[in-house]
Amino acid sequence: MELPGLTHLLSGKVRELYAVDEDHLLLVATDRVSTYDAVHPTTIPDKGRVLTGLSAFWFARLAGVAPSHLLSTSTSDLPAATRAAADELRGRMMLCRRLDMIPFECVVRGYLAGSGWREYQEHGSVCGIELPDGLREADRLPEPIFTPATKAPDGEHDENVSFEVLADRLGRDLATQLRTTSLALYEAGASYAAERGVLLADTKFEFGLHGDRLVLADEALTPDSSRYWRAHAWQPGGSPPSLDKQFVRDHATASGWDRTPPAPPLPDDVVVATRERYIEVYERLTGEPFDAWLSRP
């Protein structure tokens, strides 16, 4: 997507990134969906707007735990030359501070699922953290754990690493700050979500530095970056029904695709059901109709 007056910097799996000036960036969330590091040719209508709306909600709600890079989601704050694209950008844009990004994903797990479950089955631990014997898939962990991962380029796989690897790369002080902040963000988010009937099983955060200040970046607690379950449907011993991208992953796995790009198209019923899940988790968490977000300037 070309935007008048802005320089396009890169296309991610989901987001487009533009330079506004030397201090500000514009992030635009598309409706693309990826699984296993490959982008499907089929889009999920309104997905980018759900990601932006939920990120804005969480950035505001968690501001007391960590500041974020978000400055505005209003098209009225765009440079004048870019406002011609306001209808296309409305609900899916974030005007943000530029940061020096930290090249790790800060993953927090409150339940045993996904790659954490697979690693536990093999080693009895996750990212070097020993866990009790006899845990089942989707069990709640004794306490949330911080399990960082490398931030791989598009098309490559992130790799879970230990805290010691993080400390060796970034220095122990910054690594400790990342762990402490990530756990605090998860616990605040999980506590609030539980009040809304939703379990936040795990999530990943990205951070950058603005000078010496640690700042939350990219997105926050969205169904792309988090694993959400309906609280009433949760039962350990299997993979609970999801309100996140896991629904698309499950379809991709069952389709027989070998995870080698290109990713296959998604059938209409998967597209519809995925959109419904994303909107459901948005409305449960924010407490407002999704249409209310779409009507904002």
Among the listed residues 47, 280, 1, 17, the one whose alpha carbon sits nearest the alpha carbon of residue 154: 17
Distance (Å, whole) CA 119 – CA 111: 13
| Secondary element (H or E) of residue 137 | none
**Residue 198: per-residue pLDDT:** 98
Average pLDDT, the chain: 96
Q: Which domains does the chain have, with CATH numbers?
A: 7-98 (3.30.200.20), 101-255 (3.30.470.20)
At residue 270 the predicted structure's pLDDT band, cuts being 50, 70 and 90, is very high
| Secondary element (H or E) of residue 59 | helix 47-61
Please say if the pLDDT value at position 153 is more than 70: no
Mean local confidence (pLDDT), 269-274: 98
Burial 68-103 (b: 16+ CB within 10 A, else e): bbbeebebebbeeebeebeeebbbbbbbbbbbeebe
Mean local confidence (pLDDT), 37-46: 97
Distance of CA 26 to the CA centre of its chain: 17
At residue 297 the predicted structure's pLDDT band, cuts being 50, 70 and 90, is confident
Mean local confidence (pLDDT), 128-147: 97
Distance (Å, whole) CA 13 – CA 95: 19
Tell me the pLDDT tens digit for each residue of 206-236: 999 999 999 999 999 999 999 999 999 999 9
**Residue 155: per-residue pLDDT:** 54
108 three-state secondary structure: strand
Tell me the pLDDT tens digit for each residue of 74-109: 999 999 999 999 999 999 999 999 999 999 999 999
At residue 156 the predicted structure's pLDDT band, cuts being 50, 70 and 90, is low
**Residue 195: per-residue pLDDT:** 98
- Under 8 Å CB-to-CB from 191, ≥6 apart: which residues? none
| Secondary element (H or E) of residue 105 | strand 104-111
At residue 158 the predicted structure's pLDDT band, cuts being 50, 70 and 90, is confident
Distance (Å, whole) CA 178 – CA 70: 19
Number of Cβ within 10 Å of residue 156's Cβ equals 10
Distance (Å, whole) CA 19 – CA 9: 7
**Residue 189: per-residue pLDDT:** 98
